[in-house]
Amino acid sequence: MNQLEQLKQYTIVVADTGDFESMRAFAPRDATTNPSLILKAVQQDAYKPLLERTLRDHGQEPLDLVIDRLLVAFGLEILQIVPGRVSTEVDARLSFDVAATVAKAHELIALYEAANVSRERVLIKIAATWEGIKAAEILEREGIHCNLTLLFSLAQAMACAEAGVTLISPFVGRITDWYKKAENKTAYEPANDPGVQSVKSIYAAFKKLGYQTEVMGASFRNIGQIIELAGCDLLTISPQLLAELQQSDAPVPCKLNPEWAATQTVEDHILDESRFRWQLNEDAMATEKLAEGIRVFAADAVKLEKLIQQK
């Protein structure tokens, strides 16, 4: 078996792309999108018909609803390709507003359900701010499942687990990027990679303490990081790295499992708001990368709006 086939024995593979052909080529179970990926996709000829159809049918509606319809249109196409779930993201500009995030999630789920898609096949993707986590807690109680993204710290992860969030997406590569710059390094051995170590600590804590929240490693820079996390609940991987895995038949041993987690030393973090904010504040990397990620996704949401207005 190639490395991708081996990895799929231990881990659910998710496509980190808005490109339908890549999904067909690599046969992931789930797919995840974000504003940056959708913005990139709608500028390609292959996806212009999807944008044009959305504008033709709904172009007279308010801009924010047109954006929602476009995101859901991509989601509906993706769900015809993957057998599992699609993640659809709430506007990053709502990251500090509990009520607005809940309302937007309701709107997105309503559009999916109007298209006869069960909410079980949709994950609402929300930035892992305190407000985002509180919004997700409300949505999960309503049976709307959430994917908490832009996650860089154990404090964020534990708050999500306590809130009963379905899935979290710790960002391996962005953590590594920060430490490479801070420590003036060009590379890390996979086992010593700070992003890899962050996901391992979260996985160990969740399994040892009995939390049901799924861990999905994201934002990979190389296949070494991916292989070091073989056995993680899910891994969302770009088409380029999926292709690299498919082209190699080197062994992929299982590194993470509940038995391994049981041997690890973990701390239980029951976080109220003040402790959450303090622990996040004390983690310079997580604070900076969370803020940066929200700004980037918000900027791409604005670019997507401008592109649609021009049309």
Q: How far apart are CA 89 and CA 130, in angstroms?
A: 17
Strand, coil or helix: 27:
coil
Active site residue 134: no
Q: How far apart are CA 74 and CA 199, in angstroms?
A: 29
Q: Which of 8, 104, 125, 255 is catalytic?
A: 125
Q: Two tokens at 58?
A: 């709904």
Q: How far apart are CA 299 and CA 301, in angstroms?
A: 5
Q: How far apart are CA 7 and CA 114, in angstroms?
A: 36
User: Residue with structure tokens 């959430």?
Assistant: 146
Q: CB neighbours of 259 closer than 8 A, spacing ≥ 6? A: none
Residues constituting the chain:
311
Strand, coil or helix: 45:
helix
CA atoms within 13 A on the CB side of 19: 14
Q: Which residues are catalytic?
A: 125
